[in-house]
Amino acid sequence: MSERLLPDWGWRCILQARDTDWAASRATSFMVEGVRIDIHAGGAWNCDAPVADETARMLDLFLPWVAAPGPLTIGQLGQSLDGRIATESGASHYINGLEARTHLHRLRALVDAVVVGVGTVNADDPQLTVRHVSGPNPVRVVLDPRGRAHAASKLFTDGAAPTLQVIGAALASPAHDPRAGSGGASYRRVGLAADAHGFDPAALIALLHGAGYRRILIEGGGLTVSRFLAAGRLDRLHLLVAPMLIGSGRPGLSLPLITGLDEALRPQSRHFMCGADSLYDLSFSGRTVASSSAIARPSCAPAPAMPADPANRPGPEAARVPD
Ligand SMILES: NC(=O)c1ccc[n+]([C@@H]2O[C@H](COP(=O)([O-])OP(=O)(O)OC[C@H]3O[C@@H](n4cnc5c(N)ncnc54)[C@H](OP(=O)(O)O)[C@@H]3O)[C@@H](O)[C@H]2O)c1
């Protein structure tokens, strides 16, 4: 074959890897469009046909956690260079370009559940479905401890995918059902104990795992992603940074105060271009910023950067071993 395999082919490989039982397999091989790919647990892959650079980058980006056993919680934020995710009035469409938005839809297609805070539901009225790429819709989860989500929100009414509204335990009675729409059987509501900061991320993850949702995307907004990161409950975080300065507005990450930079988080980091935006793929190991003694010190070994020079790309026979 002389033509290089394009991203659509790579995406089909990733979707197939998503559905592999990695607890039972150390490696798998399958044919996609007549081309064989071998994928090893942990993300190494090889293919005996030439793969386009963009396709190779996509496999490198996703397979380390898609081709892995066990549960995973990944956060994402699309932000400006100065760390804003929306204007003060809540406008966030769009900070990132189409490629970054497509990446977000890929993340959704690879998880079982996508989680947003009620601030995002009321500001954006999002659908949280997979539309820019092929793939399944995740269950949509709304964190709403005080039951203030707008009842007419699409998540509750469009029936496009199941929606789970998590509300404060004290509100979890039929008399407080805020849903006015026609979501029908695709809508469920569950009560969970909440404190002044909302739900305990660990309790929320346990709830979702108990319901069979093991891969979880914390999609936003800033408060929600920050709370999960501060609690040490993010395994990975994808920061999509747009070359834009907003200068005011809603912050992305807001973490507890630290005094010295030795207390700052320094996750393993890989960098990819996503159109005009920069994607930072950050890997944590259950680190918490709430207690400095609990912060694992960073590894000195830099995470491998993606080669920018096409000359560094694999030749006709592609083989990759990610971090
Ligand atoms: N650029 C992006 O990637 C992106 C993604 C999503 C959203 N957004 C933007 O972000 C803005 C909303 O973000 P936001 O930070 O203001 O709000 P948010 O994170 O969407 O929602 C925060 C609210 O969720 C509830 N909550 C329950 N448990 C929580 C927990 N464990 N952690 C955090 N929140 C919990 C709380 O509601 P109560 O106050 O009722 O207790 C809290 O105030 C919107 O303007 C939206 O457009 C941007």
Asked if the structure places residue 77 within a domain, the reply is yes
303 shares a domain with 158: no
- Structural domain span for residue 38: 1-68+288-308
Q: Is 90 in the pocket of ligand 1 (CB under 6 A)?
A: yes
Q: How far is the CA of 143 from the centre of ligand 1 (A)?
A: 8
Distance of CA 58 to the CA centre of its chain: 15
Q: Which CATH number belongs to the domain containing residue 91 in this structure?
A: 3.40.430.10
Asked if the structure places residue 122 within a domain, the reply is yes
Asked if the structure places residue 23 within a domain, the reply is yes
Per-residue pLDDT of the chain (323 residues; tens, 9 = 90+): 458 989 999 999 999 999 999 999 999 999 999 999 999 999 999 998 999 999 999 999 999 999 999 999 999 999 999 999 999 999 999 999 999 999 999 999 999 999 999 999 999 999 999 999 999 999 999 999 999 999 999 999 999 999 999 999 988 775 545 454 455 669 999 999 999 989 999 999 999 999 999 999 999 999 999 999 999 999 999 999 999 999 999 999 999 999 999 999 999 999 999 999 999 999 997 454 543 333 232 333 333 333 333 333 333 344 454 44
104 shares a domain with 211: yes
Q: How many CB atoms lie within 10 A of CB 231?
A: 18
186 shares a domain with 51: no
254 shares a domain with 126: yes
Q: State the closest ligand 1 atom to the C-alpha of 90, by its place in the atom list counted from 1.
A: 45
Q: What are the φ and ψ backbone dihedral angles of 315, each rounded to 5 degrees?
A: -80, -160
Q: Please tell me the residue having the least CA distance from ligand 1 atom 34.
A: 224
Tokens of residue 76, six digits: 């994402």
85 shares a domain with 45: no
275 shares a domain with 172: yes
Asked if the structure places residue 131 within a domain, the reply is yes
Q: How far is the CA of 275 from the centre of ligand 1 (A)?
A: 26
Q: Please tell me the residue having the least CA distance from ligand 1 atom 35.
A: 198
Q: Please tell me the residue having the least CA distance from ligand 1 atom 25.
A: 117
3-state SS of the chain? CCCCECHHHHHHHHHHHHCCCCCCCCEEEEEECCEEEEEECCCCEEECCCECHHHHHHHHHHHHHHCCCCCEEEEEEEEECCCEEECCCCCCCCCCCHHHHHHHHHHHHHCCEEEEEHHHHHHHCCCCCCCCCCCCCCEEEEEECCCCCCCCCHHHHCCCCCEEEEEEHHHCCHHHCCCCCCCHHHEEEEEECEECCEECHHHHHHHHHHCCCCEEEEEECHHHHHHHHHCCCCCEEEEEEECCCCCCCEECCCCCCCCCHHHCCCCEEEEEEECCEEEEEEECCCCCCCCHHHCCCCCCCCCCCCCCCHHHCCCCCEEECCC
Q: How far is the CA of 268 from the centre of ligand 1 (A)?
A: 26
Q: Are 220 and 124 in contact (CB under 8 A)?
A: no
Asked if the structure places residue 321 within a domain, the reply is no
82 shares a domain with 62: no
The span from the CA of 300 to the CA of 81, in Å, is 25
57 shares a domain with 163: no
136 shares a domain with 49: no
Q: What's the predicted TM-score (pTM) here?
A: 0.89
Q: Are 225 and 253 in contact (CB under 8 A)?
A: yes
Q: How far is the CA of 225 from the centre of ligand 1 (A)?
A: 8
Asked if the structure places residue 260 within a domain, the reply is yes
Tokens of residue 228, six digits: 């999960």
Q: Into how many domains does the chain fold?
A: 2
Asked if the structure places residue 102 within a domain, the reply is yes
